[in-house]
Amino acid sequence: MPFYSFHCAKCAEDIELLIGMSETPVCPNCGSKRLTRLPSLVAPPGKSAGIKKAARAQAAREGHLSNFSRAERKR
């Protein structure tokens, strides 16, 4: 089941709910069923390769090799 974002017309809260497509959402704050589904935001592209490279560079500067594989440690 995916998360969906809703806006409650009764209490004016924006909420995220984990519900199925056939379920009727209910506001957890006030119990109202007058919810409007909000558009979803697109996730930005991942940056894990850059994060890994920066972590390895920091590990090398600090003199420890914990972020490197055995093959990379022999270099």
pTM value? 0.52
Residue 67 and residue 55 in contact, taking contact as beta carbons nearer than 8 Å: yes
CA dist 22 and 24 (Å) reads 7
For residue 24, the enclosing domain spans 3-37
Total number of domains in the chain: 1
The residue with greater pLDDT, 18 or 69, is: 18
Model confidence at 4: pLDDT above 80: yes
Model confidence at 31: pLDDT above 90: yes
Residue 5 and residue 38 in contact, taking contact as beta carbons nearer than 8 Å: yes
The residue with greater pLDDT, 68 or 13, is: 13
Residue 67 inside a domain? The answer is no
- The strands making up 14-18's β-sheet, listed across from edge to edge, are 14-18, 3-8, 35-37
Residue 58 inside a domain? The answer is no
Residue 53 inside a domain? The answer is no
